[in-house]
Amino acid sequence: MEALPINRRNVLLAGSSIAATSIVPAQAAEPTPASDVPEPALEAASSQVRLRVNGREHRLALDNRTSLLDALREHLHLTGTKKGCDHGQCGACTVMLDGRRINSCLTLAVMHDGAEVTTIEGLGTPRSLHPMQRAFVRHDGYQCGYCTPGQICSAVAVLDEIGKGVPSHATADLNSRPLLSAEELRERMSGNICRCGAYSNIVDAMLDVAGKPARTGT
């Protein structure tokens, strides 16, 4: 075979020919063994739940995992109750359950069949405000307003707690009725976070409703 003259073109042709012959054909992937057909996913269990919300009775078919907060917002469309942290840390979802305040994001609706629930919509209306709502307006107890429904529900329940003699960490004498003081109110409201920082005005509003001068500390 006649040798080809050495030049750039012939060197490139020879290199590409060697590369082509050295490529090993890829092995076909082994077929994946047929897996068992997965069982169909189990449907989430649901329950019939009866709730009396703001004076009206509702019967709901709910996934057992539905929080009271989501039942109110997504099923009853009472969106005044806000979803803030959804971890019980901010208090924006506070409602009153059988007269006591509760973080509605931390409890399941099915746990409260037959319960009485009061949300911000049940306290008052734009034409007929609850005294606490009027006091919040009068004392500028809100700014952005996102936490306000939970703040107001909690504030109403706090005054009821003090009226019933329920002590707090700020109560000096557990054998005596708690004082209706700014210190007591701040302690009891500490679970309701206001990122705008309207705390002092909220205390003023609560003292006003209780018939006390603003921030007397007594």
Is residue 66 within 8 A of residue 130, CB to CB? The reply is no
CATH number corresponding to 124-218: 1.10.150.120
Q: How confident is the model at residue 212 (pLDDT cuts 50, 70, 90)?
A: confident
For helices 131-138 and 148-163, what crossing angle results, to 10°?
Answer: 120
Is residue 141 within 8 A of residue 203, CB to CB? The reply is no
Residue 56, pLDDT score: 97
- What are the residue ranges spanned by the domains of the chain? 46-123, 124-218
Q: How confident is the model at residue 217 (pLDDT cuts 50, 70, 90)?
A: very low
3.10.20.30, 3.90.1170.50, 3.40.630.30, 3.40.50.300: CATH of 46-123: 3.10.20.30
Q: How high is the mean pLDDT of the chain?
A: 87
